[in-house]
Amino acid sequence: LIFLDHIPKDFPKLKNDAFLRACHGQETNHVPVWCMRQAGRYLPEFREFRAGKDFFETCRSPAACCELTLQPLRRFPFDAAIIFSDILVIPQAMGMDVQMVAGKGPTFPEPLKEPEDLLLLQPKVDVNKELGYVFKAITLTRHKLDGKVPLIGFTGAPWTLMAYMIEGGGSTTHSKAKRWLYRHPEASHKLLKMLTDVIVVYLLGQVAAGAQALQVFESHAGCLGPVEFQEFSLPYLRDIARKVKDQLKESGQDVPMIVFAKDGHYGLEDLSQSHYEVVGLDWTIDPRSARERTGGKVSLQGNMDPCALYAPKERISEIVKKMLEGFGTRGYIANLGHGLYPDMDPENVGAFVEAVHTHSRHLNLK
Ligand code: 1CP
């Protein structure tokens, strides 16, 4: 991993470390907050900037990714930025064609159908060459952030990426991908292992480029049951964290990692013992029970129902207050239970951020 030796050291000094402190369970004046999909179509400036441009072309432009990452921070006092990119850049790097089709979402014209199709994937991915544009976007954005808040890098988890590569796009049942788990378990493990290898190098590259925290999105945990999760998701999530941390330790770095397994409530105990500092939660989990089940071993992130942002501002404030009381203000990062939707009102996003800051400061004074 040659690129770890080339860490740019001249980044501006970090001014707001609340998010990083909360990841490590340390005290903060206020509870840090950010939103999944904070760079997105709910912002008019995002829609304007993206208009007429191909989605993955945008992802390949470091300047565009930097601009889109910074947009939400100009509006709201978020405590972290997340690099604008997509989880599906990894299947692309492995040789698959992925297009963003308006009104339909990501689409693979030639998804994997049978185990033989694994032979069509790049066996040895040159991550620097294929995904270097993400690293450049991270370095540029870290500089342009000027130390305002930390920059989060991310990846899709192996099972979630496998599901897209076989389904060919979004799906409600994920039956094509799950068919592999039951009919082709060996080929499934082979693919999950290939993905894991690329992901580890990709995350290390993001850190070398300037990412200050890493989130792993297992967005499709919910279509697995506890048994399939144990076999096809959890071991790879653990492998990723362990391998990334081992490498970082060697180079004397400490970068907190967040695992977000959406609808994976059955795996909460295991996820809290998987080498991640933070476990992200969707809105189906009660804050107090999440604390009990994770036994204070990790920090927690989440988990307001994104749809609560359709409520009037006063109601949002009440919901946030309850959420903060449930989680407590230590070892906690406020977020939504999933991403923002395009029809959400930016004003209410502002109300959410303000409610987190105000209520948590009050709770800390008590
Ligand atoms: O044209 C557009 O703007 C399309 C909307 C969009 C955006 C803004 C897509 C298409 N991707 C993104 C950016 C993105 N994707 C980010 C940017 C940083 C931020 O959060 O602000 C991130 C972190 C992602 C990650 C991502 N992409 C996930 C994991 C998170 C999650 O939502 O569970 C997933 C599943 C994807 C795939 C994807 N990309 C885009 C869409 C619409 C989807 C979901 C498709 C589906 O399953 O139906």
Q: What is the pTM of this model?
A: 0.97
| C-alpha neighbours within 13 Å on the C-beta side of residue 32 | 25
> What number is the average pLDDT over the span 139-157?
98
Residue 118 has pLDDT above 60, yes or no: yes
Return mean pLDDT, the chain: 96
Band (294; pLDDT cuts 50, 70, 90): very high
| Ligand 1 shell residues, CB under 6 Å | 36-41, 50, 55, 82, 84, 86-88, 105-106, 154, 170, 217, 219, 262, 339
- Encode pLDDT of 219-267 as tens digits: 999 999 999 999 999 999 999 999 999 999 998 899 999 999 999 999 9
> What number is the average pLDDT over the span 284-311?
97
Gap from CA of 156 to ligand 1 centroid (Å): 10
What atom of ligand 1 comes closest to residue 37's alpha carbon? 20
Residue 2 has pLDDT above 70, yes or no: no
- Encode pLDDT of 125-143 as tens digits: 999 999 999 999 999 999 9
pLDDT the model gives residue 251:
85
Residue 1 has pLDDT above 60, yes or no: no
pLDDT the model gives residue 347:
98
- Which residues sit opposite 299 in a β-bridge? 278
What atom of ligand 1 comes closest to residue 339's alpha carbon? 32
Phi, psi for 213 (deg, rounded to 5): -160, 160
For ligand 1, mutation pick of 53, 67, 69, 87 (most atoms within 8 Å of CB): 87
Residue 85 has pLDDT above 80, yes or no: yes
Q: What is the chain's length? A: 366
Phi, psi for 211 (deg, rounded to 5): -65, 135
The tokens describing 165, both together, are 């590569």
pLDDT the model gives residue 8:
66
| Contact present, 119 and 187 (Cβ < 8 Å) | no
- Encode pLDDT of 25-79 as tens digits: 999 999 999 999 999 999 999 999 999 999 999 999 999 999 999 999 999 999 9
- Which residues sit opposite 210 in a β-bridge? none
| C-alpha neighbours within 13 Å on the C-beta side of residue 313 | 10
Band (366; pLDDT cuts 50, 70, 90): confident
Residue 207 has pLDDT above 90, yes or no: yes
Of the listed 75, 86, 238, 286, which one is catalytic? 86
Known catalytic residue at 37: yes
